[in-house]
């Protein structure tokens, strides 16, 4: 039992005032080296911890502390871990998914919000928070006429602080770009890393698909849009560095598939790939079990596994240990390395979520696009 709870319960059933004091005096969940204890307070027939992680039992029943309205659960958690969760509260026939009211740390994603468990040793990196000393870049919108999709697509662009047309800039194309801005604090990250000289000032194109389940699953129209519509439109309007190693693609989950697929169709265009928790589904034997939406992904990945070839100069991959895609990501790393590309693979004690992807951005971007920090002494 967690020592704080053990102390609360040491003299038998605590009074309501003692429970109030316990809640007031602690931060939740209760984090100890090697474990974490979740606490829910309220009347219920059953309370279940729902963890948004994969590879483990995601639903764990919590125990009612005798004589109280406190529910608790202690679970092992390795140092540095982080994951997102909710409480499923059962009252009669009703089941409700609730944020942890005792925990202020919340993460957002396109589906809503989750409570965040920051295990022992995890600390949000300072470079993900806006730094008042960092000059902010600006966001502008560029309409791009797309021959591939036969329509106009509006693309948000990040221009670095002190942008000058007389200079040339590396380019990073970000899949699910608006989500990266909203949920992974990409703008603050770029502002900070550029200010710290850890990456060069760069232009970042933030693309957002209206139908990512189709366009990001190995759709050649998407690759054509990025390479033949977007890239020339940007080059015509902005001073981009010409070499492929100054151009990169970033994507998470299916966005990672879209980035890899685009690079596979245009291997001479993008020298740097940043792939986070890529959904690189494949089948070794028989049909895959991921559903029909993944058919084109599996076709593409199976094809690449059969006939691999160099498709970039450097590839950074990351994946959470607490997500099922760790298997696919660990599988693709040696394949990419075998093609002579420089590959850096990082595993995180985290799951399939935006803050995992946010926390890996510094390691990824500084490896793919090293800034002038080494040479600059202001």
Partner 1 sequence: MTPRILLGPQSPVANLRQAVEALGPDGPVVVISAGWRDSEGELDELREELGRPLEDLMLYRRAERIFAGEPDLLGLHRERQDKLQELQALYRVRLGPTITAARKLMRVNAQQDLLRLEQRAAIAQLRALDRHHLRRIQAIHRDFDARRAELRIPAATAEREAVQHQLAQAGLVLIAGGHVAVLLNRMRLFRLSELLAQKPLIAWSAGAMALCERIVLFHHHAPQGRRDAELLDAGLGIVRQKVLLPHAKTRLDWSNRKRMGLFSRRFAPAACCTLDNGSLLHLEGDRLVATAKSFAITRSGGKRVVKPR
Q: How far is the CB of 167 from partner 1 (least distance, A)?
A: 6
Q: How far is the CB of 260 from partner 1 (least distance, A)?
A: 23
Residue 284 or 378: which CB sits closer to partner 1? Answer: 378
> Does 111 engage in binding with partner 1 (CB under 8 A)?
no
Distance CA 12, CA 15 (A): 9
Q: How far is the CB of 365 from partner 1 (least distance, A)?
A: 9
Q: How far is the CB of 311 from partner 1 (least distance, A)?
A: 23
Residue 167 or 237: which CB sits closer to partner 1? Answer: 167
Strand order in the sheet with 203-206: 138-146, 151-159, 203-206, 171-174, 247-252, 272-276, 314-320, 342-348
- Contact with partner 1 (CB under 8 A): which of 179, 198, 229, 328? 198
- Contact with partner 1 (CB under 8 A): which of 166, 210, 285, 291? 166
Q: How far is the CB of 364 from partner 1 (least distance, A)?
A: 10
Phi, psi of 228 (to 5 degrees): -110, -20
Cβ count near 50 (within 10 Å): 17
Q: How far is the CB of 193 from partner 1 (least distance, A)?
A: 8
Footprint (CB under 8 A) of partner 1, residues 30-49: none
Residue 127 or 294: which CB sits closer to partner 1? Answer: 127
Footprint (CB under 8 A) of partner 1, residues 312-371: 362-363, 366-367, 370
Phi, psi of 348 (to 5 degrees): -120, 145
Structure tokens at 149: 């999709």
Residue 164 or 237: which CB sits closer to partner 1? Answer: 164
Distance CA 178, CA 186 (A): 9
Query: Taking each helix axis from N to C terminus, what angle separates 295-306 and 326-337, rounded to the nearest 10 degrees?
Result: 30
Residue 39 or 201: which CB sits closer to partner 1? Answer: 201
> Does 372 engage in binding with partner 1 (CB under 8 A)?
yes
Sign of CA dihedral 126, 129, 52, 73: positive
Spatial CA neighbour of 144 closest among 239, 230, 249: 230
Structure tokens at 153: 């697509």
Q: Binding residues for partner 1, how many (CB under 8 A)?
A: 17
> Does 377 engage in binding with partner 1 (CB under 8 A)?
yes
Q: How far is the CB of 164 from partner 1 (least distance, A)?
A: 6
Footprint (CB under 8 A) of partner 1, residues 144-163: 162
> Does 164 engage in binding with partner 1 (CB under 8 A)?
yes
Residue 160 or 255: which CB sits closer to partner 1? Answer: 160
Residue 152 or 165: which CB sits closer to partner 1? Answer: 165
Residue 17 or 376: which CB sits closer to partner 1? Answer: 376
List, in order, residues 6 or more apart from 350 with CB less than 8 Å away: 81, 82, 83, 320, 321, 322, 356, 359
CB 87 within 8 A of CB 47: yes
> Does 376 engage in binding with partner 1 (CB under 8 A)?
yes
Strand, helix or coil at 27? coil
CA-only gyration radius of the chain, Å: 23
Nearest 5°: the CA angle 219, 222, 223 is 95
Residue 29 or 271: which CB sits closer to partner 1? Answer: 271
Q: How far is the CB of 370 from partner 1 (least distance, A)?
A: 7
Residues paired with residue 344 on neighbouring β-strands, in sequence order: 316
Q: How far is the CB of 142 from partner 1 (least distance, A)?
A: 23
User: Distance between alpha carbon 204 and the CA centroid of its chain, in Å?
Assistant: 17
Contact residues for partner 1, defined by CB under 8 A? 162, 164, 166-167, 198, 362-363, 366-367, 370, 372-378
């Amino acid at each position: 039992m967690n020592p704080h709870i053990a102390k609360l319960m040491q003299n038998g059933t605590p009074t309501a005032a003692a429970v109030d004091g316990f809640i007031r005096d602690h931060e939740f969940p209760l984090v100890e080296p090697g474990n974490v204890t979740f606490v829910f307070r309220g009347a219920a027939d059953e309370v279940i911890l729902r963890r948004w992680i994969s590879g483990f039992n995601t639903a764990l029943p919590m125990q009612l502390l005798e004589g109280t309205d406190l529910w608790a659960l202690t679970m092992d958690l390795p140092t540095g871990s982080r994951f997102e969760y909710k409480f499923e509260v059962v009252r009669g026939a009703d089941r409700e998914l609730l944020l942890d009211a005792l925990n202020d740390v919340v993460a957002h994603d396109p589906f809503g919000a989750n409570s965040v468990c920051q295990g022992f040793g995890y600390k949000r990196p300072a470079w993900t928070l806006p730094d008042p000393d960092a000059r902010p870049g600006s966001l502008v919108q560029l309409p791009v006429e797309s021959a591939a999709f036969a329509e106009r697509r509006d693309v948000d662009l990040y221009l670095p602080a002190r942008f000058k047309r007389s200079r040339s800039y590396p380019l990073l194309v970000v899949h699910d770009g608006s989500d990266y801005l909203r949920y992974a604090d990409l703008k603050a990250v770029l502002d900070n890393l550029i200010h710290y000289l850890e990456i060069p000032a760069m232009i970042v194109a933030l693309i957002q698909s209206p139908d990512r389940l189709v366009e990001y699953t190995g759709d050649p129209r998407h690759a054509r849009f990025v390479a033949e519509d977007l890239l020339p439109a940007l080059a015509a309007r902005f001073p981009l560095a010409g070499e492929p190693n100054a151009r990169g693609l970033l994507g998470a989950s299916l966005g990672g598939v879209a980035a890899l697929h685009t690079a596979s169709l245009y291997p001479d265009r993008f020298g740097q790939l940043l792939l986070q928790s890529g959904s690189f589904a494949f089948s070794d034997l028989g049909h895959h079990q991921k559903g029909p939406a993944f058919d084109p992904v599996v076709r593409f990945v199976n094809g690449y596994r059969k006939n691999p070839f160099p498709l970039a100069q450097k590839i950074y991959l990351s994946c959470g240990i607490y997500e099922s895609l760790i298997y696919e990501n660990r599988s693709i790393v040696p394949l990419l390395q075998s093609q002579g590309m420089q590959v850096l693979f990082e595993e995180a004690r985290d799951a399939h979520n935006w803050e995992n992807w946010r926390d890996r951005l510094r390691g990824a971007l500084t490896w793919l696009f090293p800034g002038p920090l080494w040479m600059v002494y202001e």
